Amino acid sequence: MEPENIQAFKDLIERYENISLEEIEKEWKSLNAWRGCIDTGEEIAYELTGFGSQTTCTLCRAVKEYCTKCVYFRKRREDFMFCCNTGRNEKTYNAISNAETPEELLDAFRQRAKHMKKAYSKYLI
Mean pLDDT calculated for residue range 14-31: 94
Q: What is the pLDDT of residue 120?
A: 94
Estimate to the nearest angstrom the gap between the alpha carbon of 94 and the chain centroid. 10
What would the pLDDT profile of 48-76 be if each residue is shown by its tens digit? 999 998 899 999 999 997 888 999 987 76
Which pLDDT value is given to residue 31?
Answer: 78
Report field, pTM of the whole predicted structure over 0.75 = yes
| pLDDT given for residue 83 in this prediction | 84
Amino acid letter, 88: R
In this prediction, residues 104-111 reach a mean pLDDT of: 98
**pLDDT value for 123:** 92
pLDDT (0 to 100) of residue 82 = 60
7, 12, 40, 45, 101 from 23: Cα distances, Å? 24, 16, 16, 11, 13
Query: How much is the pLDDT for 18?
Result: 98
